[in-house]
């Protein structure tokens, strides 16, 4: 993921990771450690772009 802008924010026990890439913006939120969100965001970005391996069961 090579986003043009990234933001990590927290409020209470909820963290958010926001990124803009080209004409698309995405946000991942959850009750997790904010240091973990960039890894989760990377997986989301790969799925959106069709780069992630297909993990569906046959």
pLDDT per position as a tens digit, 5-41: 677 788 888 888 888 877 778 888 989 877 788 888 8
pLDDT of residue 19: 83
15 neighbors 29 (Cβ within 8 angstroms): yes
| 12-to-2, 8, 20 alpha-carbon distances in Å | 28, 13, 24
pLDDT at 47 over 70: yes
29 neighbors 45 (Cβ within 8 angstroms): no
pLDDT of residue 15: 87
């Amino acid at each position: 993921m090579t986003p043009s802008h990234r933001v990590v924010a927290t409020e209470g026990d909820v963290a958010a990771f926001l990124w803009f890439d080209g004409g698309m913006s995405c946000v991942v939120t959850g009750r997790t450690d904010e240091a973990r969100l960039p890894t989760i965001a990377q997986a989301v970005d790969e799925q959106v772009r069709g780069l992630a391996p297909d993990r569906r069961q046959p």
